[in-house]
């Protein structure tokens, strides 16, 4: 993942994006961010940015503007590991689906991060035991495509074709009676999306 251009980027509270996720990863790597990686710029991210700014002698306003991002990019390289994990999950779970269907699978992960019923970070949701077939059967370990990355970015940037779904399944191959008992919100491709 390329670092956001310091001159063209300003991140602040209320934003959800792949750039916020990258910011959180960088702050975590430097020891300032100790919460779940969500891609959402909330009060915890603002506080971490403020602490980084104070330590660097920058204006501590909690907004990651050009000066803060430039200093951060000099301190730690942006690896984009969480984006890669989301793209791998999308590829493993929905590579045969339409682009909208792939974005929808990514959106379910982000919806779960925001739900109190699930872990509060993208990696924790992805690797939660028994939740995704691609993790259980090894499809997660296949190389994601450019389309999978594009779908992951769309979901991280707030696109949710499911309107808040927390689950999905393929009714043609699903064996879980629990999954099938949930009311379907919508169907995209081979997946039924539910809450």
Question: What does the alpha-carbon distance between residue 19 and residue 13 come to, in Å, rounded to a whole number?
Answer: 13
Query: What is the average per-residue pLDDT within 60-83?
Result: 92
Nearest C-alpha neighbor of 9 from the set 41, 54, 48, 34: 41
Helix (H) / strand (E) containing 132: none
Strands of the chain, DSSP E: 167-169, 184-188, 191-194
pTM for this predicted structure: 0.88
- Reported as a single tens digit per residue, the pLDDT across 108-134 is 999 999 999 999 999 999 999 999 999
pLDDT value for 1? 45
The pLDDT confidence band at residue 157, using thresholds 50, 70 and 90, is very high
pLDDT value for 81? 93
Higher pLDDT, 29 or 177: 29
């Amino acid at each position: 993942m390329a670092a956001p251009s310091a001159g063209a980027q300003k991140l602040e509270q209320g934003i959800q994006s792949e750039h916020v996720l990258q910011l959180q990863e960088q702050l975590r790597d430097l020891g300032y961010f100790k919460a779940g990686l969500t891609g959402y710029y909330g009060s915890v991210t603002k506080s971490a940015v403020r602490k980084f700014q104070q330590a660097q002698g920058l204006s501590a306003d909690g907004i990651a503007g050009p000066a803060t991002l430039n200093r951060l990019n000099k301190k730690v390289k942006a690896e984009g590991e969480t984006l890669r994990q989301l793209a791998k999950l999308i590829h493993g779970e929905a590579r045969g689906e339409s682009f909208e269907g792939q974005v929808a699978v990514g959106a379910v992960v982000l919806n779960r991060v925001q739900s109190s019923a699930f872990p509060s970070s993208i990696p924790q949701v992805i690797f939660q035991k028994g939740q995704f077939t691609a993790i259980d059967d090894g499809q997660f370990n296949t190389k994601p495509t450019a389309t999978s990355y594009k779908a992951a970015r769309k979901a991280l940037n707030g696109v949710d074709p499911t309107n808040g779904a927390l689950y999905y399944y393929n009714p043609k191959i699903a064996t879980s009676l629990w999954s099938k008992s949930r009311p379907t919100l919508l169907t995209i491709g081979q997946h039924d999306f539910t809450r």
